[in-house]
Amino acid sequence: MRRCFNIKYFDFSGAMALQNDALIIAIIKGSPNLKHLKISNNDIGDEVTKALVHTCYKLEYLDIRCCTFISELSICKTIKEIARSCLSLNSLDLEGCENIKSSNSEIESESSQSRALIISSEEGGP
């Protein structure tokens, strides 16, 4: 896939095509200037979150609601890394990510050192 440097907004919410992580990973890696990414309600896994951490440093908004195949460990690790590397991120939607059982307090404390990060989830969020 060619690089799409000008893409800043991408909404693939509920797209059945994203049942394969390879497609969304290719999109993420080819679009380093993404600011707004919605990939909710897809069967994506941990590899997608790893690609986000290593590519999308300019993210301001990330919606991964109802992505039930992402593990809690991956979410917590990824969010910590995103909070450190994506300094513009101000909104993260984790609602319906069933594998997240712990509180968001650890994630929120990581991000609070640099700015306010709004974390929305079923447990522990606003």
Q: What is the pLDDT of residues 71-81, one digit of tens each?
A: 877 777 877 78
Question: Is 2 inside a domain boundary?
Answer: no
Question: Is 1 inside a domain boundary?
Answer: no
Question: Is 82 inside a domain boundary?
Answer: yes
Predicted confidence at residue 18, as pLDDT, reads 56
Predicted confidence at residue 36, as pLDDT, reads 95
Question: Is 116 inside a domain boundary?
Answer: yes
Question: Is 125 inside a domain boundary?
Answer: no
Question: Is 4 inside a domain boundary?
Answer: no
Predicted confidence at residue 116, as pLDDT, reads 56
For 3, 7, 23, 109, the CA distances from 86, given in Å and listed in that order, are 20, 17, 22, 15
Give me the half-sphere count of Cα atoms (radius 13 Å) on the Cβ side of residue 103: 5
Domain count, the chain: 1
Res 113 pLDDT > 60: no
Question: Is 97 inside a domain boundary?
Answer: yes
pLDDT bucket at 53, cuts 50 / 70 / 90: confident
Question: Is 36 inside a domain boundary?
Answer: yes
Tokens for 42?
A: 């897809």
- Which residues are CB-neighbours of 87 under 8 A, at least 6 positions away? 114, 115
Domain region containing 45: 9-120
In the predicted model, what is the mean pLDDT of residues 98-113? 53
Summary mean pLDDT of the chain: 76
